[in-house]
Amino acid sequence: MSSRPALLTTAALLNRRTVLAGTCAAGCAALAGCATYSAAPEPEAAPQAGGTAAPQPGGAAAPLVKAAEVPVGGGVILAAQQVVVTQPTAGLFKAFSTTCTHQGCEVTSVADGQIVCPCHGSYFSVTDGAPTEGPAKKPLPEKAVTVSGDAVTLA
């Protein structure tokens, strides 16, 4: 008996190559699928104060919220409009996008002068939307608002 390993036929090599290539392709596809990460589903936010920003006759936007509904040093989340309206100091109103700049989750609350993103623990200032804690490095995008009487409206 010979101590040399058996030689594989050309057909056997092609079969093994085909199997290996197919396995590699499947593995690469699985890894690519893992790379398309999306944020975990978010908990539903409690209903917040404020009206809708539906267009009014004549093209004017409806008020987002009444000024009296926005606490001084705090704010309200208007999920349907994807806006958080804050009042850092009495009479000064700011608005920011509700989309967290870390990975796109929606902020869900305002507490102790901070806008809170529950997904990864980012906090943003009610004054300028700047991140104050957590993995977010960029501020929430600011949205221009106007105040007329008791109505806060997107500009």
Per-residue pLDDT of the chain (155 residues; tens, 9 = 90+): 545 555 555 555 455 555 555 555 555 444 445 444 334 444 333 334 444 444 444 556 789 999 999 999 999 999 999 999 999 999 999 999 999 999 999 999 999 999 999 999 999 999 999 999 999 999 999 999 999 999 999 99
If residue 97 lies in a helix (H) or strand (E), which one and from where to where? strand 92-97
> For the whole model, what pTM was predicted?
0.63
Q: Identify the pLDDT of residue 51.
A: 43
Q: How many CA atoms lie within 13 A of 46 on its CB side?
A: 4
Three-state secondary structure along 7-56? CCCHHHHHHHHHHHHHHHHHHHHHHHHHHCCCCCCCCCCCCCCCCCCCEC
Q: Identify the pLDDT of residue 11.
A: 52
Q: How many CA atoms lie within 13 A of 104 on its CB side?
A: 5
Burial class (CB in 10 A: 0-12, 13-18, 19+), 105: buried
